[in-house]
Amino acid sequence: MFVVKLGGSVITDKSKKYFFKKEVMDKLSIEIKKANKDIILVHGAGSFGHILAKEYMLNQGYRNDEQLQGFSLTHAMVQKLNSLVLSSLHDKGIAAVSIPPHVILKLDDHKPSKMDYNVFRDYLDKGFTPVTFGDVALDKKLGFSICSGDLLLQMLAKHFKPEKVIFALDEDGLYTSNPKIDKNAEFIEKSTMDELENFTTNSNRYADVTKGMEGKIETIKNIANLGIDIVLLNGNIDNRLYDTLIGKETKHTLIYGEKK
């Protein structure tokens, strides 16, 4: 079984409000169908969630009643994106079902407090593909906050111990610096967590890691510490996801889980 995250930067244009990349999503749906693997799918909120969440400062928790409208609007828009993702999966013959995070989990000061994993297992056991997504959620301390797709990925990996966790990004994987601005950036094909730690610490290049990766280093570290391998690949390139799912060689970054 795999846990796969489709990044918001892959299936939406983050610079354009509510812009869904249907052709990209359809391609990924075909690859998922063709691979025929048990998958829990997570997708980011992209331009459907981040813009509104920032406007209403939802990640800071409850400050005023105006944010209640912002919470509702943000959830409605990420739910709309989720419906578009589901529609693409359905069109390609995948029995996908939506599992909205705000219904099954609660946070406490941004951290997971409780989560109903049984709903994922029940759907998997019956042959469905569960699909969840970055969303707003109730927070015991803050009133509400944001449950990111990366946090969901980490929680699901810890509970289900998948064969691999896969990030589909808008980059080929991890580089020694940002390849968009540094022509000497070197692609990292494989790495242990210790090697990645040494790279980011000794070279002080956290800020230079490709933009899509900056906020993911901690998530990757936590998943690797569970002993689970992590793959970072370019979701925009044909068959990168498919090849990875079936175990075929393709360009991606593989970070080995730390075996206990």
d(C-alpha 144, C-alpha 141), whole Å? 8
Please tell me if the domain spanning 1-162 has the same topology as the one spanning 163-260: yes
Give the amino acid at 55: E
d(C-alpha 137, C-alpha 109), whole Å? 11
Q: Which of 152, 150, 160 is nearest to 220 (CA)?
A: 150
Give the number of residues written for the chain: 260
| Alpha-carbon dihedral sign for residues 239, 245, 246, 250 | positive
Instruction: Write down the pTM of the prediction.
Output: 0.91
Write the CATH number of the domain with boundaries 1-162.
3.40.1160.10
Is 80 within 8 Å of 73 (Cβ atoms)? no
* 163-260 placed in CATH 3.40.1160.10: yes
Residue ranges per structural domain of the chain: 1-162, 163-260
d(C-alpha 137, C-alpha 103), whole Å? 8
Q: What stretch of H or E contains 103?
A: helix 101-104
Q: What is the pLDDT along the chain (260 residues), one digit of tens a residue?
A: 999 999 999 999 988 889 999 999 999 999 999 999 999 999 999 989 888 888 899 999 999 999 999 999 999 999 999 999 999 999 999 999 999 999 999 999 999 999 999 999 999 999 999 999 999 999 999 999 999 999 999 999 999 999 999 999 998 998 887 777 888 888 999 999 888 776 654 444 433 333 445 667 889 989 999 999 999 999 999 999 999 999 999 999 999 998 76
d(C-alpha 107, C-alpha 97), whole Å? 23
